[in-house]
Chains A and B, each alone.
Chain A
């Protein structure tokens, strides 16, 4: 099972992400999101960051909020994330540890700055093997 793939969209960018569990789906979605910005496979993490959010009783919205939080940290603390670990995702909310590197010009940038994670056609579905999410971005 691939972690994610990009979907064709005229103006913006979109991904399909998969996971055997919801935490894995979240991790792979984040992996797909940051892969739009840079070739994060080539990065060795230097900084670790704990990211926690309260439960909002809606898994798709939770996914958008968590990804938006990671983009917010990217923009304000200048950390480009490359490794994602969701430790728990339950009634208490989401508890994750994300690792990355400090933003600098010589990173393997792909040129797209992801402005936001949108709610457009947002979907999280159960599949035979686990879960699948469809996410659209504003770039």
Chain B
């Protein structure tokens, strides 16, 4: 099934590869993949490059149909895909955002060092595991009324802060301040609300995780310091989750609706999963408003979980979160569509940028990044697999010029989940990780086998490619100490 892709691909430079539009009649632009030559063979092993070409069919696409170095085979759009469409003539596609709307990642700093945390790690992990519901079918501790759920859709993380989960500073350090504009709960079905109601404040399963890490290398001391990272061995906490069943249901319903819209507006789709509608059409606007509701739900979710993580630290260390310096460095979305202004061929243009498994990476001085980060650029958080490393980067001017201010979002899968599970048993994964000094706690051993480090590309390669191509800049490397998997 996973037959190799054999279409044309032309080298532009050491980091850029072009799929020319002549490859398939109907492509409106070229495809562009960011990768190093040695990664390319793997990328061509499945149909991900075909998906880059397919996205180029969609009306109103501006610039290239792009893929970041963590590109892998998705459905419809590739994972790692970035595509921008003119808001007057172009489309919006739920498949270009994905089912887990605003799946994203945040990172907290602490004042703690490796030596200080070590004796407490097992009890800390237990405490967090107990405090943050995770796993298949897990239920949250909150029970929201319809009115509260509507407030979550509009206010996002601000709703959570108003309810006592964290503070104002957290909002300043969240993309869109955790409260994206344009939400309209009327565009969300009662079914989506039903599915989302019991899942706010849950981590979920699959690749979602919560990790305690130590800074292992600093590449850019000045930027690191601005983010509150002062030294190697400093402890950080990473949270990776999204909008749970609420986002899945919204995506599901709108893919179905927009399949009809595509027919209505005579849009030719090379794959049904690319279902879309003109951004300016009633259907396109409806999806965008519903998507914003799910994005805000996801920011509220990460904010609530952050609060419970802080509580766990407070209980174990018998100090306040302030004393422990548990501050949010930043929170990024990596499955989202955004209306942004970009300069294309010297002209300013409003586009709807789809990032599906890609992270915004805005340059220094951009007005949409927090004041305290203006000088260094937007922090970019790139989680890796549970055995190796994660990275902190910053956005660059080159990203603004080339990728609509976007970069990679993670390691990218290499091995199918089924292959990974066949290769090893859950207990064995846990033991191997513990031999490397990484504590693991999982709601299910089965998830562990699907998420083994070997199932992923080496995140260091992916990050080095983005850094080499200039679309983001490395700041620090973090290594896992303790991991919670759903």
Residues of A within 8 A of B136 (CB): 37, 109, 111-113
| B447: Cβ under 8 A from any A Cβ | yes
Expressed in whole angstroms, the Cα–Cα distance for A136 and B72 within the complex equals 15
Contact B76–A109 (Cβ < 8 Å): no
| B114: Cβ under 8 A from any A Cβ | no
Expressed in whole angstroms, the Cα–Cα distance for A136 and B415 within the complex equals 16
| B194: Cβ under 8 A from any A Cβ | yes
Q: How far is the CB of B40 from chain A (nearest CB, A)?
A: 15
Given contacts A72-B195, A111-B450, contact A10 B415 (CB under 8 A): yes
Contact A11–B99 (Cβ < 8 Å): no
Residues of B within 8 A of A7 (CB): 1
Provide 17 A-B residue pairs closer than 8 Å at the C-beta atoms, listed in order of the A residue.
A7-B1, A9-B1, A9-B73, A10-B413, A74-B137, A75-B195, A103-B137, A109-B136, A111-B206, A115-B100, A119-B259, A119-B275, A120-B271, A120-B273, A121-B75, A138-B75, A138-B98
Of A78, A119, A121, A138, which is in contact with the most chain B CB atoms at under 10 Å from its CB? A119
| B155: Cβ under 8 A from any A Cβ | no
Q: How far is the CB of B407 from chain A (nearest CB, A)?
A: 19
Expressed in whole angstroms, the Cα–Cα distance for A105 and B486 within the complex equals 12
Contact B75–A12 (Cβ < 8 Å): yes
Contact B75–A6 (Cβ < 8 Å): no
Closest to B426 in A: A111
Please name 15 further chain A to chain B contacts, defined as beta carbons within 8 Å, in addition to the given A8-B416, A120-B95, sorted by A numbering.
Answer: A8-B418, A9-B2, A10-B46, A13-B416, A74-B137, A111-B447, A113-B205, A113-B486, A116-B252, A118-B76, A119-B255, A119-B273, A138-B99, A138-B100, A138-B248
Of B136, B194, B195, B275, which is in contact with the most chain A CB atoms at under 10 Å from its CB? B136
Q: How far is the CB of B55 from chain A (nearest CB, A)?
A: 13
Expressed in whole angstroms, the Cα–Cα distance for A139 and B207 within the complex equals 9
Residues of B within 8 A of A12 (CB): 74-75, 417
Q: Mark A1-28, 1 if CB is under 8 A from B, else 0.
A: 0000011111111100000000000000
| A68: Cβ under 8 A from any B Cβ | yes
Expressed in whole angstroms, the Cα–Cα distance for A8 and B413 within the complex equals 13
Q: How far is the CB of A122 from chain B (nearest CB, A)?
A: 6
Q: How far is the CB of B307 from chain A (nearest CB, A)?
A: 24
Residues of A within 8 A of B46 (CB): 9-10
Residues of B within 8 A of A44 (CB): none
| A48: Cβ under 8 A from any B Cβ | no
Residues of B within 8 A of A13 (CB): 416-418
Of A75, A121, A136, which is in contact with the most chain B CB atoms at under 10 Å from its CB? A75
Contact B245–A75 (Cβ < 8 Å): yes
Residues of B within 8 A of A74 (CB): 137
Contact A119–B272 (Cβ < 8 Å): yes
Contact A72–B446 (Cβ < 8 Å): no
The 5 closest A-B pairs by CB, nearest first: A111-B446, A120-B75, A119-B272, A111-B447, A120-B273
Residues of B within 8 A of A65 (CB): 256
> CB < 8 Å: which of A14, A105, A120, A136 contacts B135?
A105
Residues of A within 8 A of B79 (CB): 11
| A92: Cβ under 8 A from any B Cβ | no
Contact A115–B446 (Cβ < 8 Å): no
| A49: Cβ under 8 A from any B Cβ | no
> CB < 8 Å: which of B95, B204, B444 contacts A109?
B444
Contact B195–A78 (Cβ < 8 Å): no
| A110: Cβ under 8 A from any B Cβ | yes
| A127: Cβ under 8 A from any B Cβ | no
Contact B446–A109 (Cβ < 8 Å): yes
Q: How far is the CB of A62 from chain B (nearest CB, A)?
A: 11
Q: How far is the CB of A69 from chain B (nearest CB, A)?
A: 10
Expressed in whole angstroms, the Cα–Cα distance for A75 and B202 within the complex equals 13
Residues of A within 8 A of B261 (CB): none
Of B46, B98, B245, which is in contact with the most chain A CB atoms at under 10 Å from its CB? B245
Residues of A within 8 A of B450 (CB): 111-112
| B320: Cβ under 8 A from any A Cβ | no
Given contacts A72-B249, A75-B245, A76-B194, contact A9 B416 (CB under 8 A): yes
Expressed in whole angstroms, the Cα–Cα distance for A117 and B248 within the complex equals 10
Given contacts A10-B416, A78-B137, A138-B75, contact A112 B1 (CB under 8 A): no
Expressed in whole angstroms, the Cα–Cα distance for A119 and B259 within the complex equals 10
Contact A120–B76 (Cβ < 8 Å): yes
Contact B73–A112 (Cβ < 8 Å): no
| B475: Cβ under 8 A from any A Cβ | no
